Amino acid sequence: MIGVIMAGGKGTRLYPLTANRPKPLVKVLGKPVIDYVNDALLDAGVKEVILTTGYQGEGLVSLVKEWNQQKSGDFSVNNEARPMGTAGSVKLLQDKLTDTFIVASGDAILSSDLKKLISAHKFSKSKVTMALWEVEDPTQFGIVGLSSKIMGPIDANLSEGYITKFLEKPSLEDAFSNVINAGLYIIEPEVLEHIPFDTKYDFSKDLFPKLLELEWPLYAKKLDGLWFDVGTPSELVRAQNELIVKRMELPFKIPPGEITDDGGYVFDSAESKSRVIKSVLCEQVLVGENCEIKDSLIMNNSKVGDNTEIKSSVIGNNVIIGSECSLIDCVVGDNVSIKNKTNLVNLQVES
């Protein structure tokens, strides 16, 4: 089975972290987000993985070279000359996708047994099977209505079933479900005939509603394990903290480090003499004395001066933050220097 990982987005909500890298290469616990997705595909028996790229695809090409050297499988890249949308990018691969295949988003963390989803797809005899995730607040996502039969009434209590309705970012009053599209699909090759050539086209907005109109069978099933949309800095921090909490349940090892008394995580090579609360300090991060770092992520080779507080923030690679600073709700890009006694609130800082 072939797996396609869509990795062409710019990740504008994570800017300036994505100023020098595509969103799938942003790291969580020292591991690129797209690596979590790729490993889940390989664990499900996928033998060939194709990345569709666009924005700053050079970094993904380098990653694929590493995969071919280190992992068991055949990995390649298909670069879009211009943005084609999620479905449009997969349409470009139609000549290769002649059997059932999997499409996954490369910018969400995934740790789940996809073999269960594949089995559900075969059992339902559907043309598309969609992975779902349950959320408390569905208003920021695309929700999915399920039924026990094709084109039947919606049953909000189902964890899997036939898709009968989609709705993007509903109000609380209009939300008929709290399960959302997790951006992972098992697809039969004949579905590609309904994607136009050389046109920007989206799975959730364009293709799937069209297939519903044609009354093609579309199935869906909730994922087990873990799934996180890391589209914003706050979601990035939340994902890393959840991975730390559930580290004993994960099918992979997180990088070696120390869990602090406050629930933070410090990589072995980091040296911290301050409080690290529900935060991650990556490799070669140096933190001075009497600092407090809370609900934050500090990436590789960054330095923090004495008596500095960093809260609800994401700090990029090779950043220097002076002493007696305060950063709250900030996103700092790579290679930035912040002077002593600087106070920043709710800002994006780029070099």
pLDDT in tens, 143-157: 999 999 998 999 988
241 belongs to a structural domain = no
**202 and 261 belong to one structural domain:** no
22 belongs to a structural domain = yes
18 belongs to a structural domain = yes
Residues 6+ apart with CB under 8 A from 306: 288, 289, 290, 291, 323, 324
138 belongs to a structural domain = yes
**213 and 298 belong to one structural domain:** no
What pLDDT was estimated at residue 271? 75
The yes-or-no verdict on residue 54 having pLDDT over 80 is no
What pLDDT was estimated at residue 180? 92
Closest by CA to 144, choosing from 218, 86, 202, 85, is 218
% pLDDT > 90, the chain: 63
**226 and 273 belong to one structural domain:** no
Q: What is the pLDDT of residues 155-186, one digit of tens each?
A: 988 999 999 999 888 888 888 999 999 999 99
Whether the predicted model's global pTM rises above the 0.75 cut: yes
Look at the chain and report how many structural domains it folds into: 2
| Cβ neighbours around 63 below 10 Å, total | 21
Are the C-beta atoms of residues 206 and 87 closer than 8 Å to each other? yes
**186 and 263 belong to one structural domain:** no
CATH number at residue 102: 3.90.550.10
247 belongs to a structural domain = no
**90 and 213 belong to one structural domain:** yes
The torsion angle over the Cα atoms of residues 310, 311, 313 and 316, rounded to 10 degrees, is 20
Q: Measured between alpha carbons, how far is residue 235 from residues 98, 103, 244 in Å?
A: 36, 23, 14
* Residue 221 pLDDT grade (very low, low, confident, very high; cuts 50, 70, 90): very high
**157 and 274 belong to one structural domain:** no
Q: Which of 6-15, 67-76, 83-92, 321-330 has the lowest mean pLDDT?
A: 6-15
What pLDDT was estimated at residue 340? 98
**209 and 341 belong to one structural domain:** no
| 8-state DSSP, 99 | S
Are the C-beta atoms of residues 129 and 121 closer than 8 Å to each other? yes
Q: What is the pLDDT of residues 297-307, one digit of tens each?
A: 999 999 999 99
**101 and 23 belong to one structural domain:** yes
87 belongs to a structural domain = yes
112 belongs to a structural domain = yes
Phi/psi of residue 2, nearest 5 degrees: -95, 140
Beta strands 101-105 and 179-187 are: antiparallel
Are the C-beta atoms of residues 289 and 306 closer than 8 Å to each other? yes
Are the C-beta atoms of residues 284 and 304 closer than 8 Å to each other? no
Of 184, 201, 234, the residue at which a domain comes to its end is 234
**181 and 77 belong to one structural domain:** yes
**219 and 295 belong to one structural domain:** no
266 belongs to a structural domain = yes
**297 and 210 belong to one structural domain:** no
**150 and 299 belong to one structural domain:** no
* Residue 255 pLDDT grade (very low, low, confident, very high; cuts 50, 70, 90): confident
Provide the residue range defining the domain that includes 269: 256-349
Q: What is the pLDDT of residues 72-115, one digit of tens each?
A: 889 999 988 788 899 999 999 999 999 999 999 998 898 889 99
Please spell the DSSP secondary structure of 102-124, one letter per residue: EEEETTEEEE--HHHHHHHHHHH
Are the C-beta atoms of residues 331 and 349 closer than 8 Å to each other? yes
How many angstroms separate the CA atoms of 297 and 277, rounded?
Answer: 11
**Which residue blocks in 135-281 are alpha helix, DSSP H?**
208-213, 233-245
Question: Helix, strand, or coil here: 14?
Answer: helix
